[in-house]
């Protein structure tokens, strides 16, 4: 009996050793509206990811129209959304600035949504990626209505469609680095806006009406704001007078490099948002724009045409490595 008791104690000690007691957390979930996955909604899958995860967790979102308002909070890190394609996996909502709450007042004493919480998807958790899906706000043309709102750092959006009207994509917070590649982004007014350092590479930027594409609010502390690399600027037929951008805040920085611009882009290119003082602080520049909207000689005098030497600093490494090393092409 003593030997049996001793054996039980020894085995207990062995199996309570940390090497045996570590919990294994899933690194993938499947969301399916058909019920053949782990969850039926995307938010349920996000909630199931281990808090402060240090491994990348892939959430495969099968085809369907997901009518959700999704929040990825700051403690849900290293999450990837992988869809079945932009025409198959669609995340949609229709909140907008001014939409009344239902019998409630928010923490700020407001009775209605604002631009900042009108999003369809809010990303606050670092190291987020999305690929092969559509995020849209279907409100229509009645005010600010965000599709994707990103506050996190080290975010990659690849092969996605971001659809809305005014304020489609909110690239928020000055410490956020965001990389959009091979994406389609459409809207009416200021439909790419915010503080973040964001690169758009080989993206199609589509204007739906006469207005402004960008409204950066870059801070004086940032070396880069919005950088468009090898993008294509297109428009609906009704959009014939479109500005490249205007400064939401005085130190806005926006640069277009080797972009093809349709005839909807106005010759002057940039607007000072009814404040001439912005002309001495905003940084608006281009390099080798092409197409019928590329009017280098006609641009406002306070914008810049970059040289070969200037664009040597416009590499992903230099744009994104200002606070710590990050290579978005490997997401490391």
Q: What percent of the chain has pLDDT over 90?
A: 87
Q: In the predicted model, is pLDDT for residue 9 greater than 90?
A: no
Radius of gyration of the chain (CA): 23
Q: Which of 167, 271, 310, 324 is catalytic?
A: 167
Tokens of 162: 């971001």
Q: In the predicted model, is pLDDT for residue 1 greater than 60?
A: no
**Least confident stretch, 46-55, 71-80, 106-115, 299-308:** 106-115
In the prediction, which pLDDT does 332 show? 58
Distance of CA 52 to the CA centre of its chain: 20
- Rounded CA separation 178/151 (Å): 9
In the prediction, which pLDDT does 254 show? 98
Q: Which of 190, 230, 236, 271 is catalytic?
A: 190
Mean pLDDT of 161-177: 97
pLDDT band at 120 (very low <50, low <70, confident <90, very high): very high
- Which sign, positive or negative, has the C-alpha torsion 176, 182, 183, 184? positive
Q: Is 190 a catalytic residue?
A: yes
- Rounded CA separation 73/154 (Å): 15
Q: In the predicted model, is pLDDT for residue 193 greater than 70?
A: yes
In the prediction, which pLDDT does 134 show? 98
Helix (H) or strand (E) holding 14: helix 2-15
In the prediction, which pLDDT does 322 show? 75
């Amino acid at each position: 009996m003593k030997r049996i008791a001793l054996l039980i104690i020894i085995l207990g000690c062995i199996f309570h050793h940390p090497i045996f007691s570590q919990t294994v957390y899933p690194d993938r979930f499947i969301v399916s509206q058909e019920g053949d996955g782990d969850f039926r909604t995307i938010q349920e899958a996000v909630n199931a990811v281990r808090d402060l995860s240090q491994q990348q967790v892939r959430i495969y979102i099968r085809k369907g129209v997901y009518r959700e308002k999704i929040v990825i909070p700051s403690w849900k890190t290293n999450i990837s959304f992988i869809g079945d394609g932009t025409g198959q996996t669609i995340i949609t909502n229709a909140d907008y600035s001014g939409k009344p709450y239902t019998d409630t007042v928010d923490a700020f004493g407001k009775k209605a949504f604002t631009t900042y919480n009108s999003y369809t998807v809010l990303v606050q958790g670092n190291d987020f990626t999305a690929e092969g899906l559509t995020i849209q706000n279907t409100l229509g043309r009645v005010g600010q209505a965000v599709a994707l709102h990103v506050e996190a750092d080290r975010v990659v959006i690849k092969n996605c469609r971001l659809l809305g009207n005014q304020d489609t994509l909110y690239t928020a917070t000055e410490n956020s680095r965001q990389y959009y590649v091979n994406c389609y982004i459409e809207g009416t007014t200021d439909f790419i806006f915010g503080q973040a350092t964001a690169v758009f590479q080989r993206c199609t930027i589509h204007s739906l009406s006469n207005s402004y594409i960008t409204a950066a609010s870059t801070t004086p502390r940032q070396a880069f704001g919005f950088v468009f690399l090898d993008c294509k600027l297109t428009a609906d037929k009704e959009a014939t007078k479109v500005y490249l951008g205007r400064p939401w805040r005085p130190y806005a920085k926006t640069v277009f490099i080797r972009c093809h611009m349709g005839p909807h882009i106005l010759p002057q290119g940039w607007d000072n948002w009814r404040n001439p003082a912005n002309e001495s602080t905003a940084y608006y520049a281009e390099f080798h724009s092409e197409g019928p909207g590329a009017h280098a000689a006609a641009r406002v005098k306070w914008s810049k045409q970059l040289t070969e030497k200037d664009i040597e600093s416009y590499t992903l490494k230099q744009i994104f490595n200002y606070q710590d090393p990050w290579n978005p092409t490997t997401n490391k």
